[in-house]
Structure 1
Amino acid sequence: MEQTAISVSELNAYVSTLLSSDSVLCQLCVKGEISGYKRYPSGHAYFQLKDESSSVSCVMFKGNFSHIDFVPENGMKVRIYGRAGIYAVDGKFQVYVSFMQEDGLGELFKEFELRKERMAKEGLFDESHKKPIPYLPKRIGVVTSPKGAVIQDIINVLNRRFPNYDLLIAPSAVQGKEASAELIKGLKMLDSRDDIDVIIIARGGGSMEDLWCFNDEALGRAIYEAETPVISAVGHETDYTICDFCSDLRAPTPSAAAELVMPNKEEILSRLDVSGGKLALAMRNFMKNKSHQWESLTKHRALLAPRFRIEKEMQRCDVLSSKLSEKMTSSFEKKKGIFTTDLAKLGALDPMKVLLRGYSRVTDTSGKTVDSVKCVNIKDEVVISVSDGTIRSTVSKVEPKEGE
């Protein structure tokens, strides 16, 4: 007997009916850690809820956010309430979340935010304080666990990019109560050395609880006060810690830190080859230009016949000297004529010349010119100046002109 076939849509609809009719699945309460959280412009949010071994897709529609008093973030441990179902279009199993509450780790998030805000106000995250990372560090210090994949990832990347590196590891726990103290100790040890150019603090991914030692305030301050540039490479790209904000550079992963701290040797050699070729070409062009200039100068008639050049310049000097002499003579005669004319005009105004022609000048005893009969009285003494001396006389009579 041939079995009746059903469509994919019918299958998804049937499974959805089964899920919605189940008394447990239609009133779920699930706890776990948020991962891959993303909220779209529509206001709906999609994420994974995971534990140590499994994960489940979740969706929370815009209207349900009015029921919660916090902002969900990756790494938060929460309890979600809702129903299980499938998305009919692709048959994907997911939980439709109607309500969410923090599950224990909420206090850590609050502490993290408070600590971050307090340290930011103190200026511990200021960009102006951050030191540049050296381009080719002679020796790299790494504070991390000496065991595990992190240090191996760093070494592998460095081996691939620049095998001539020198690495010093400061062993430290990267999780647990004692981890922050060990991290600080390793950091200070490396910073105290004169042969360390840059320090990497590294650890792989984990939950917020796992990474909590990297949120230690004392560790953040030690990074800020370090004289050696520090790169923070903690967790995955979506994980942020106090170390990231205090460090001089944040790398999204430990492998990325190794790439940031050391350039690719092959790329450097390639750039050097290109630069060397450009330099050699520039030198050849420079020498070629100078050679052409030299050939041009050696063929110049000033060098081929220097006597001809000297004689030409001597003749030119003679011509210029003659012109200068003529110019000076002409200018002198012109100035001499002007001077003679001015001298004659000045001589015509000389009072002594007037006296030589038979005129005289009459003044009183104080030297005031007597130019009117009203200036003297009978028996006044007057001085008469003539061309060869003076005559003193007494007024015996004053005869004004008629009509005056």
Structure 2
Amino acid sequence: MTFPALFEETCVFTVSELNARIRSLLESEFPYVWVCGEVSNFRVPASGHFYFTLKDAGSQLRAVMFRAQQRRLRFEPEAGLQVLCQGRITVYEPRGDYQLIVDVMEPQGLGALQLAFEQLKKRLEAEGLFDPARKKPLPVVPQRIAVVTSPTGAAIRDILKVLQRSPYALIVTLIPVRVQGEGAAEEIARAIQQAGALRDTFRWDVILVGRGGGSLEDLWAFNEEAVARAVADCPIPTISCVGHEIDVTISDMAADLRAPTPTAAAQWIVGRLEGVERDLSSLSERLRSTLERRVQRHREQLHHLAKRLRDPRRRITDRRLYVDDRLERLVLAFSGRLARLRMTHGHLAERLKLHRPSQRIESLRDRVNAVFRSLCVDQGKLLERSRFQLEHRAAQLESLNPLAILGRGYSITHRMPDGKIVRCAREVKEGQRVQVRLWQGALRCVVEACIDSIDEPGQGRTERGEEEENNGEV
């Protein structure tokens, strides 16, 4: 069989060789490309890699973003999100599928930071982290203050400037941290956690967490989940004061109080103390006025009562006469009552003598003894009569006992092997085995002959029977 020249010059590839050639061509032709599309079929297996499909109205492309490249992501990819991806086109040779290996992913529309902010806000809000019911009450008199911020930033200077102008004795502790850059969020969260752990040692009343103004990137450390959870879980009431008044961060929502600026946070503390001082002054003035009015009212009541008060000696004399009269009447009442009780007691004693329990007990004892003697006599007669009846019944039973008949020399013959009692010689055959029941024991015999008439005693004995009798078998 011959092939055309075209086929003779054509090179034949294996599947693996062809996939390898296609992969080499694609990787050399498209080393890096930007692709925009909608994320679909998004999944994250146990390896932690992102597997998804980029699609538009007319086509779709498989894509994967390995775990190492995910560190630069500020947001969480999800199905339906429009994204812009940079990566390399390659072929997965075992299946012959070509796909995009994504190195960089950015959302389209909102920026990556803004999208990450909205996603984290939505997730923490769904968990109830921003619920006002879980926020801790703020101190009435904040005197010990911890400030978590940069030691060189404008925030600490603004806070100290306001607090130093106040006339109140305040203790301020600076916990220095970085407020922007790589690792700043972890450092802030760790500082808040340490402050909560040292609560009993330093007895802080409130913690200020914040920094001065800046761009969204500069303030991003306060939008990290670690900082939000540390603020929410801190056992000490927290005030978040980040950026300017228009800047709102995740830590502002998780804190127990949001201050628009660090200066406003310090002014809140001073205003809180001023409010307490005003309240104390107002309460002191109200207390003084109330006490003065009450003293004046009691003074007037005392003056009025003093006019109505009579000579106490006269009242004492009247009470003494009243007591003497009541005492005399009481003695007479007790005497009459005692006499009546004495008469009643004598009457009851006489009646009791007539109904002494000992006499009744003696009478009942005699009756019991008489009944007992009568019962013994009747019981003896009953036993004697029962014994006589028992002996009579036993004699009757003995006379009807079939074994007693055997004792007079009779026997009972059973046909073997069915055990039927033999009443007639015709019921057995010669050579048949029988068993003879005696008064004591039994004999197993073989019939030699069947005789209708009664022979002399001893003639019907068989050799088998004699042998068994001689051997003493029973």
Q: TM-score, normalised by structure 1?
A: 0.49
The structure with more radius of gyration: 2
Which structure would you say has the larger RCO, counting Cα contacts within 8 Å and 6 or more residues apart?
1
